Structure 1
């Protein structure tokens, strides 16, 4: 069936577009013909040509000019360009096309018996370039002025930080898109030699040390940091200076975040709290990772969660033989499945399965069908306050779910099993942390008797993950506050999700079996400072525009987290961000007995006995008040 007969509206739209295109082309061709005639006559008068000014004597030479001009300009694409977006390339195409046909014109004129001086052709070519190019430039300028006049109200004054390539692109885009309702009123750059100079007629007013003064003088509403090559530490310092103003902050991503290093105005985003971590992105040793993931059957439990989904993204880049996503929440599993299908299509052998790690028969059926070679176990309950209210659920999922998957990994001869653990497993003060410590102990006991290499990777909070403080703070700020913090002295370690997952995968590559890998999370961050910074980044003043409210420590919460128990000790690895904690000796027999007792209690839902048995199982499980008595570092 012919589509054109079934969609008259679409047919009319296409016809209108074609008609508009033809009209514009005709206008340009007509204007060029007029300019050729005017240029020809002007050149004759200026150069004192001996040729007669009689129109009958110039029809043929002018006609030759016109035919060659239209032919060469058409071939060079001068009638196909959208002149509202014209730049240097379009201007060069006019210059080159005009120069190309000047010599053929001269030869054809001589053959036809018309003799003009060489100066005539030089002057005529200059006139043609100036008139045809000038007409197009005038059209572009007029259109821009018209749009600027249309969007002249409610324009935001922008101060640009960075007088390099990125700054040049941002200025151009803002000028070319008045609908953005932004006007660059000045530029700052820490290269003092640039002060006083101009980019696109916008003056470089000083360095970032002058930001407060310039903001006041120029009535700046918004600051855009356009420095793609800057280090994280350098960007942090600039952001801290700009934060002292009440301007809204935006930034271009770092050069590592921009595909092929290309600056793109569309990538300008609000300054995030990640920009204030002040350190470079942690890089993964791709060679090590590819050796044990590439061409392998890889299974990820909890593959739809924050960490699990990022694991799937990064694993997919290493071309596994088969990637199997297991999750008990269908929405999350579907979301990451569709994302990977859109990106890789049939190039990625992908299976997405809805299942719970608590169901041994179901999980075994998956192991039996797919025979995974590498397992990343990310399935877990992780919300501290919620698990305090439902301790049996944390135990069923985090302890016995881990035990079932670990047991099946041994049974089906999985090469490597990587447990995603947490800093809350160190001297835990809550049931969630205690269950994760028990999970570490489980994989340690399996490693002692199995050919499978079992390891755990322990890290702190990840920025932007489900349930983390950043999304909560942002939502509270959007609602006008207050921003709630449990305690003014509480501190946490932070890392971005891609960084944490990249290190998890690399730690798995280093595994020999039995290790607890510990990721270097950098310096701990005070949550109060985090909240203050986020409020300022949103353009508000803490305590004035947005209040901060302290709600008291939640059940099981401690003031600071640790990455290492005192008994463990630490060993460095080739990657400066990954360390190995020395395994603590476990009395396997007692551990198994405690697990058996715990299983009976859970089966009977005898909640009152859980706490005492868990403290026998995990002897480092302490009360929150004991941990919070320690001096905060």
Structure 2
């Protein structure tokens, strides 16, 4: 206990000394006020008497104002604008009270000019020493940490200013200069660090200023700009670091501890998603939100954004992974008030547990992200894929209807379009069931469909990272294989926006941009490790795996895509089926899942999803599907 006691004593001593310093300035400011009003010709007897009376009045009132406005919460070493504002409020309030008492008690002999000059001298006396002390400390600290890495900061905006403010206090970095494309900022200084020019000067200044690290302090930087900067840094063999993106920050301030290396999603990502926050707040604030698959890549980010950016009554997190949901519980209790977080262990395939969850917590919104998503694994375990992706979705959706859930969002995938694998076929079956329920309940069923998310569990990015770390080779299935990619925060933001804007029955398709060749992705990731493809790390083509397509699709030919009020969200025409027909097909799936026979499972899936094409399945031809012909619809918004 000795060290905490010593620390508390030191803090108390510093505050006491600061308080005594401020008290000493009260008589000094009064004296300077009297001398100034007398043109510094000395004080008469009457002036001395009124000075003493005024001093006895000022000391207690001004001291109380100092404490009331928290002048001793700040530290002189880091004196800033908020400290100056507190000083101004304390001096102004104290002076107004003192002046009122002087007039109220008609104290004779107190020059009115003194009551104007006194607060000016006091304000200078309190603020001046604080800022001089900080300046001296900054100069001393700056000289002391000359061994820190010489850092060039890209971006002189708010994030750059906040970052350099922390960097000047850190011994690991020495900020040398800013670069920013805004002409208005050139030549200006932030915390003593000058903006030298545009980002086009980067290559020249890295050599000229002996830069040891480049820091990108632009959370909104485009992927093109990130690639340009990282290419220059790689050519100059200088490390390049960055701050989190705006979506990763979730509206929180930038901190020095958040500096990280460049990731592949920084180079493939696009402009930050602009959300209609008013619609999202109306959708989520005050609601009980159940998120299934809460420990997964998409589910966990749904939890972060719902709890971190909005004000739901409860965020009910459900997952069958004990360790995964334990980690999410720890993280979420740091992000949101603990009484807002409900952590549940459970499986969406367990009817008893799921009914208990709905009965106890009465969710108003269900975000259904629980799924088996790994294509080759589901291909080898067809029955498990059906149990989770189809029957688990049916269970949760039926309970949502029974317990009066307002909105049910199904997180789907581009692999549900013309599926050629079990995973895609099961997700399409889940879509069909939710679309059918839309016309038989008051719950609004909404489906969002998108492609791969970067760096998700089981995705190609972590695989490539492991292969590069092991020295290669990096394995790619086919030279021409392409995939749509989106960052996890971007995908989740658009999922929530879709859920908020949907009225029920919609199939929303997220704008995934242009497809990315996997071989290009592999090459970019190898370069992020400062290695050369085919020289340091080889790329090996291993052939498409069972159930994989060469190119993914985002919508079926019968789903006429139209625009919506959001530029990055499209709407596909839902295809309806007859309820009795659907129930017979679902019964076949239940039997198939119990037999655990991949061939039987494929036949049952093909009966429900006629567009499911599987060369290995040898499925019998199903009866014609009662899918209705799509009708033209108008764009929303």
- Using the size of structure 1 for normalisation, the TM-score is 0.73
Question: Residue in 1 aligned with 2:381?
Answer: 390
Q: Does 1:237 align with 2:229?
A: no
Q: Does 1:542 align with 2:532?
A: yes
Q: Does 1:622 align with 2:613?
A: yes
Q: Does 1:212 align with 2:212?
A: no
Structure 2 Cα separation of the partners of residues 295 and 97 of structure 1: 39
> Cα distance, 1:82 vs. partner?
3.7
Structure 2 Cα separation of the partners of residues 129 and 545 of structure 1: 67
Structure 1 Cα separation of the partners of residues 499 and 137 of structure 2: 58
TM-aligned CA distance change 1:321 to 1:623, over 3 Å:
same
Question: Residue in 1 aligned with 2:625?
Answer: none
> Cα distance, 1:382 vs. partner?
0.9
Question: Residue in 2 aligned with 1:290?
Answer: 282
Question: Residue in 2 aligned with 1:160?
Answer: 153
Q: Deviations over 1:460-480 (max 9, x none)?
A: 122343223344445555666
Q: Does 1:279 align with 2:271?
A: yes
Structure 1 Cα separation of the partners of residues 439 and 406 of structure 2: 14
Q: Does 1:399 align with 2:387?
A: no
Question: Residue in 2 aligned with 1:107?
Answer: none
Question: Residue in 2 aligned with 1:14?
Answer: 8
Structure whose alpha-carbon radius of gyration is higher: 1
Structure 2 Cα separation of the partners of residues 513 and 263 of structure 1: 38
Instruction: For structure 1, list consecutive stretches of 5 or more residues without a partner in the other structure.
Output: 1-6, 52-59, 105-117, 627-633
Structure 1 Cα separation of the partners of residues 126 and 585 of structure 2: 89
Question: Residue in 2 aligned with 1:114?
Answer: none
TM-aligned CA distance change 1:281 to 1:535, over 3 Å:
farther
Name the SS of the counterpart of 2:233 in structure 1: coil
Structure 2 Cα separation of the partners of residues 91 and 567 of structure 1: 65
Question: Residue in 2 aligned with 1:327?
Answer: 319
Alpha carbons 2:154, 2:215 under 8 Å: kept: yes
Q: Deviations over 1:575-603 (max 9, x none)?
A: 33332322335476665555444433432
TM-aligned CA distance change 1:624 to 1:218, over 3 Å:
farther
Structure 1 Cα separation of the partners of residues 376 and 563 of structure 2: 34
Return the match for 1:555 from 528, 546, 571.
546
Structure 2 Cα separation of the partners of residues 48 and 413 of structure 1: 82
Question: Residue in 1 aligned with 2:632?
Answer: none
Question: Residue in 2 aligned with 1:111?
Answer: none
Pairs within 5 Å for 1:544-623:
547-552=537-542, 553-584=544-575, 586=577, 592-623=583-614
Structure 2 Cα separation of the partners of residues 304 and 397 of structure 1: 15
> Cα distance, 1:323 vs. partner?
4.8
Structure 2 Cα separation of the partners of residues 89 and 455 of structure 1: 47
> Cα distance, 1:423 vs. partner?
0.7
Question: Residue in 1 aligned with 2:240?
Answer: 249
> Cα distance, 1:197 vs. partner?
6.1
> Cα distance, 1:223 vs. partner?
1.6
Pairs within 5 Å for 1:11-90:
11-15=5-9, 17-18=11-12, 82-86=75-79
Question: Residue in 2 aligned with 1:631?
Answer: none
> Cα distance, 1:266 vs. partner?
5.1
Structure 2 Cα separation of the partners of residues 609 and 581 of structure 1: 31
Q: Does 1:440 align with 2:431?
A: yes
TM-aligned CA distance change 1:372 to 1:195, over 3 Å:
closer
> Cα distance, 1:256 vs. partner?
7.4
Structure 2 Cα separation of the partners of residues 464 and 268 of structure 1: 18
Name the SS of the counterpart of 2:509 in structure 1: strand
Alpha carbons 1:282, 1:499 under 8 Å: kept: no
Name the SS of the counterpart of 2:366 in structure 1: strand
> Cα distance, 1:79 vs. partner?
8.7
> Cα distance, 1:421 vs. partner?
1.1
Of 135-144 and 305-314, deviating more is 135-144
Name the SS of the counterpart of 2:574 in structure 1: coil
Name the SS of the counterpart of 2:424 in structure 1: helix
Question: Residue in 2 aligned with 1:518?
Answer: 509
TM-aligned CA distance change 1:30 to 1:580, over 3 Å:
closer
Name the SS of the counterpart of 1:557 in structure 2: coil
Pairs within 5 Å for 1:110-189:
140=134, 143-144=137-138, 147-148=141-142, 151-153=145-147, 155-175=148-168, 177-179=169-171, 181-189=172-180
TM-aligned CA distance change 1:440 to 1:133, over 3 Å:
closer
Q: Deviations over 1:345-396 (max 9, x none)?
A: 4763x54432222223433344445554543322211111222222221112
Question: Residue in 2 aligned with 1:467?
Answer: 458
> Cα distance, 1:562 vs. partner?
1.0
Structure 2 Cα separation of the partners of residues 623 and 129 of structure 1: 80
Structure 1 Cα separation of the partners of residues 11 and 576 of structure 2: 76
Alpha carbons 2:178, 2:193 under 8 Å: kept: yes
Structure 1 Cα separation of the partners of residues 183 and 218 of structure 2: 16
Alpha carbons 1:515, 1:583 under 8 Å: kept: yes
Question: Residue in 2 aligned with 1:500?
Answer: 491
> Cα distance, 1:405 vs. partner?
2.8
Structure 2 Cα separation of the partners of residues 351 and 436 of structure 1: 27
Alpha carbons 1:482, 1:546 under 8 Å: kept: no
Q: Deviations over 1:478-536 (max 9, x none)?
A: 66665544344332223333433343344334545443222222222333433444454
> Cα distance, 1:424 vs. partner?
0.9
Pairs within 5 Å for 1:340-379:
340-345=332-337, 348=340, 351-379=342-370
Name the SS of the counterpart of 1:564 in structure 2: coil
TM-aligned CA distance change 1:545 to 1:409, over 3 Å:
same
TM-aligned CA distance change 1:215 to 1:401, over 3 Å:
same
